[in-house]
Chains A and B, each alone.
Chain A
């Protein structure tokens, strides 16, 4: 359990409560392989008589297996590799990521993902706004800014790595693409666990939540995934609306905005405390803030942090019991 020093002024009682909660959390997770953590150039013990496979983050130097990154040694059968902690995002094929467009280039957008390179989203990897299956033309290339411009937030899937190590993204269906009417939050990538679903729709609040594997989290108003068939008919309107300044899209009810902020702050609190961010934990934190009648802007105060820490300790304890 990597616990960050909290940068918040705590009163004496808060400090005691907080430390107790952290202690309890640590006692619950003590069984993890804390002894397997290594730093760069640490030697990783392996049985040299037996064959072993060296995976990511390892290198063999003078017959010794060394770690090339800081992290935890993981073993799968004979494969030895080091899982990094608190580093930049390390993409894997099939990951769902959220990123920000930083450049519109030839036939592609460059997307910032907190990876050591920018992600590349090819024009051909994007669904056309008209929903028609066709090859991209030079006209499409000229109209690329109708789809995304710089600073747009997009959601995509990691498709593969090019030979030079750059990352190819793709938008498999209509639910990928531009994200609007919401908030982008950045947390450390290690706080996001890969799971079956990264797209979440919180029906009770009408909120879409996309927890990108790269630690970028999108909280926004729910958008119906548009049926590509239907778009066929109204493609002209669509084209106009997407190129217009977007007056009509600016109206989001106040309530929704507050919900977005509340969820956003919940994620911030979790990130500050270094807790894994999942839909379950986020919603619990939101409910906690609601039940304690804490204002949105107070959620980032010391008191709520302590409450969340205590709550988390309690939650994990009961989970353990089960």
Chain B
């Protein structure tokens, strides 16, 4: 490998914490100077006396046909010393070398080695790779088991955890455990599995952790060293074998702008130029503002080429292919690929090759399955050298596409984020079709960590001199935002630990197991403990700040302050009563003058005068707010939420993100007359005056005139002749009267309060408020400290044990009972509800197909917009499921487990019940696809997961001795396990 193109990213050792033990012998230093830098560091457990690095003349367990990078040889040196190592490097850097060395070493020593990866598909691929190299390799995933007696076992982390709970003999023979993609630990749902299996790993085994670049690798290694009482090395490198260039492609523009060059220098001028080239889409396109606009889905105007088409054309012309285009939804992915329909990127020879590979791959499918629309539609696209890769594809197609891509027969691949994890499948160019990502509730900028992960696919080692990243930007973005995204640091590795009943029961079941012990050893606790000194320092500085604020006459000032707060809250109460839709709807007539509250709540949290800032405007119309829940129609009009469109004077400004911001300002100030939508709560009062205003308000002048009329009204009647709530609006509620009386009493108090007249009262109040805020902050920090010094999750653990006791899963002495033993076996679905269902005998009554269909509710979490209600028998079962789930949730709530009963019940979705029923009945897959309008891949994944659940239920039924149910479950497995759904992976 040429040394010139590699850039030294050696981190200076002085930035390292003092306890760092830098072990750099001569050879490393030379490498550092010339080649790639890496940081090597060791975490020792407390009271550990490091052994002198043993001088050993053992021949290496494995020779590589190429020169190792310094980080690889550093890591391998640690392995040779028999010590654990964490390797943190970019995806393409070549971490696999370390893993395969560890495997070779173990095989040589006649020890077992386990390799775990987060994803089944990845396990399959790794199995194939290792099998070719080492032959004594087995595979265990939820779907397949091949040669479980082999010395090297590839498995998913979930399987490893269940082995540890069950106490497999493998755990007694394993010398090395390799955790690939260990940064998955921060996954909110599955991350806890990594923590469990690391904590429970045999004390004498050693680890290899492979992770993407994480800034807190040291922290992780410290944790491993502490939990396992063994040294853990860290080898960290930022190095990329092929440097990257980052470009921006502005929407509607024509060219690429180099923003970050291969020396990772940010070119601000070029970035600005690119933004200037951004062709603004139609201003009236309001959608843009709320971020729902998705470029590409809106195909350019007739005859015009879409941006994506232009970009791909440019890439091909400049020979930047192969290219991966990342987008953030499956639908978008497909839509974008469709726009490429005119493009042909493969030669005739290549077309034939695609066809041959494709045909031989789908050969194992039945004829019916070959006719599936997804299968038959994709071939023409593939032949043209264009591919799609997302989780909605049939697994087999996904694999065909991966193979074609590796063979270079796909030049242009549209993929979702999942393609960025795992096996080495680099391209020359990576394109981000969007810079914003929907993360469940809103669109946000891509994080730098995500950017790093995905851009890691750019640049093929040894082929390309540099990798190219292109960012398609369709809205203004601040250089700072871009800079932090493109050049920011990787996401740190944080614990996502949480408790589950299955975990508790498994821990309670074994003599040595103790959930508290697990909690104490968790990474979560470790991180919490670590944060304490920092928090304490914060508290101290805040306290000093608090004490430095000295206020004269503090007592009486505080009194006054509290009065103001009370006054405000009362005022708010009154407004709330008056402006309940019930009372105010009849008065929200168009053209009525209205007084709005325009207190600026983001800049100045509270004003201290009892006068609010307000403005006047004219009502245009009111709207009912559509809430997301289904039962909207059943609501009475009085209960719904309303917003009001008001014409008023506004300040229009643009904030950093390029979003327009409209803010109402007092009518006498400068600003544009604009119609804004305000919630009812922002209305202060309604005037009895109804203005005469022209219907057509599009011209600016008409609006200006309308506001002038309002001003005239105000000059004549400064109070705006408000409607009297009692007389005009006929509000007869007793609480209204009571509140008004209290308000009057308060007003009297204000006048009597002597401090109100003191000079500088507002300044003083501001200081006081600052102090109050400080006090609140200190209080909350102290609470965090208290909760982290105590065992994390302690209360939740107690509550959850209470639930288990209440439901009869464990006895009062924490001995696992029969029901608990059943729940122990169920790890792939909600264990409590499923166990309760089993013991209620529902499974026994239902037919096999119905049983399978019912189980689908446990694995399907997606809400389908147009799913038909399942037939009556199924619906009946589903209602029983919901009842059981509600009961389980309510018991949890009673026991003080934080849970939202309704959303828990709603999390069981009946949407694919019919489809699964049909599948269990023996329908063809294409028939099933007609019933359920979901992605093929999603349905297949659901059915495979159901099979996993069924297998666990079989074990459970066996343990309670119910043979009939066991037989029934076996039958269920045989009914769903067929054809395309369980077609073997091409990698096996």
> What is A's interface to B at a CB cutoff of 8 Å?
50-57, 76-79, 81, 92-94, 96, 122, 124-127, 131-137, 157, 159-160, 170, 172-173, 194-199, 228-229
0/1 interface trace, chain B 96-129, chain A, CB 8 Å (1 if under): 0000000000000111100000000000000000
0/1 interface trace, chain B 296-326, chain A, CB 8 Å (1 if under): 0000000000000000000000000000000
- Contacting pair B151 A135 (CB below 8 A): yes
Q: CB of B90 within 8 A of chain A?
A: no
Chain B residues positioned under 8 Å from A78 (CB to CB): 839-841, 844
Query: Can you name 21 A-B pairs with beta carbons within 8 Å?
Result: A51-B842, A53-B839, A53-B841, A53-B844, A56-B960, A76-B818, A76-B839, A78-B844, A81-B960, A92-B821, A94-B511, A124-B172, A133-B175, A133-B202, A135-B110, A135-B111, A135-B112, A159-B167, A170-B167, A196-B814, A198-B511
| Residue among A53, A157, A194, A198 with the highest chain B CB neighbour number at 10 A | A53
Q: CB of B394 within 8 A of chain A?
A: no
- Contact of B965 (CB < 8 Å), options: A53, A56, A94, A137: A53
- Contacting pair B511 A199 (CB below 8 A): yes
Chain A nearest CB: distance from B180 CB in Å? 20
Alpha-carbon distance A160/B202, docked complex (angstroms): 20
Chain A nearest CB: distance from B281 CB in Å? 61
Alpha-carbon distance A124/B512, docked complex (angstroms): 20
Alpha-carbon distance A125/B166, docked complex (angstroms): 12
Q: CB of B53 within 8 A of chain A?
A: no
Chain A residues positioned under 8 Å from B844 (CB to CB): 51-53, 78
- Contact of A133 (CB < 8 Å), options: B204, B842, B964: B204
Residue of A nearest to B962 (CB): A53
- Contacting pair B962 A55 (CB below 8 A): yes
Q: Which of B162-182 contact A (CB under 8 A)?
A: 166-167, 169, 172-175
Alpha-carbon distance A174/B959, docked complex (angstroms): 28
Chain B residues positioned under 8 Å from A136 (CB to CB): 173
Chain B nearest CB: distance from A210 CB in Å? 10
- Contact of B512 (CB < 8 Å), options: A57, A137, A173: A173
- Contacting pair A93 B110 (CB below 8 A): no
Chain A nearest CB: distance from B516 CB in Å? 12
- Contacting pair B110 A134 (CB below 8 A): yes
0/1 interface trace, chain B 805-821, chain A, CB 8 Å (1 if under): 00010000111111101
Chain A residues positioned under 8 Å from B961 (CB to CB): 54-57, 81
Supposing A125-B169, A157-B511, A160-B166 touch, asked if A52 and B841 sit within 8 A by C-beta, the answer is yes
Alpha-carbon distance A14/B816, docked complex (angstroms): 41
- Contact of B112 (CB < 8 Å), options: A76, A81, A134: A134
- Contacting pair A76 B511 (CB below 8 A): no
Residue of A nearest to B110 (CB): A135
A-B pairs, top 5 by smallest CB distance, nearest first, are A51-B841, A56-B961, A77-B839, A78-B841, A124-B169
Supposing A76-B808, A135-B112, A172-B512 touch, asked if A229 and B173 sit within 8 A by C-beta, the answer is no
Residue of A nearest to B842 (CB): A51
Alpha-carbon distance A247/B112, docked complex (angstroms): 37
- Contacting pair B508 A134 (CB below 8 A): no
Chain A nearest CB: distance from B952 CB in Å? 14
- Contact of A134 (CB < 8 Å), options: B109, B512, B813, B960: B109
Q: CB of B845 within 8 A of chain A?
A: yes
Q: CB of B229 within 8 A of chain A?
A: yes
Alpha-carbon distance A108/B255, docked complex (angstroms): 73
Alpha-carbon distance A237/B109, docked complex (angstroms): 22
Residue of B nearest to A175 (CB): B512
- Contacting pair A94 B175 (CB below 8 A): no
Q: CB of B442 within 8 A of chain A?
A: no
- Contact of B840 (CB < 8 Å), options: A56, A77, A93, A96: A77
Residue of B nearest to A60 (CB): B964
A51-B842, A55-B961, A79-B962 known, 4 other contacts, Cβ within 8 Å: A54-B962, A79-B818, A133-B205, A134-B175
Q: CB of B203 within 8 A of chain A?
A: yes
| Residue among B167, B836, B961 with the highest chain A CB neighbour number at 10 A | B167
Alpha-carbon distance A251/B175, docked complex (angstroms): 37
Q: CB of B801 within 8 A of chain A?
A: no
